[in-house]
């Protein structure tokens, strides 16, 4: 079973793009600050966006 995360943020950092993902809601309630589960780094913005759209619900 694949877990879907409802928080995703892409941010540039030096020579890479970091995709942070986690949870923005808990039991139907919106959290004041999202819970970050993990992050992944990519060399290009295109790869970062593709990963975010494929694996997680990107709200952009």
Q: What is the pLDDT of residue 58?
A: 47
Full 3-state SS string of the chain: CCCCCCEEEEEEECCEEEEEEEEEEECCEEEEEEEEEEEEEECCHHHHHHHHHHHCCCCC
pLDDT at position 41 is 93
DSSP-assigned beta bridge partners for residue 25: 30
- Structure confidence at residue 29 (pLDDT): 86
- Ordered per-residue pLDDT tens for the chain, 60 residues: 466 677 888 899 889 999 888 888 888 888 888 888 888 899 999 998 888 887 665 444
pTM of the complete model beyond 0.85:
no
Give the dihedral of Cα atoms 5, 18, 49, 27; nearest 10 deg: 10
């Amino acid at each position: 079973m694949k877990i879907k995360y409802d928080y995703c943020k892409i941010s540039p950092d030096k020579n890479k793009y970091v995709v942070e993902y986690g949870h923005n809601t808990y039991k139907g309630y919106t959290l004041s600050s999202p819970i970050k589960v993990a992050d992944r780094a990519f060399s290009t913005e295109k790869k970062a966006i593709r990963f975010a759209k494929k694996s997680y619900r990107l709200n952009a």
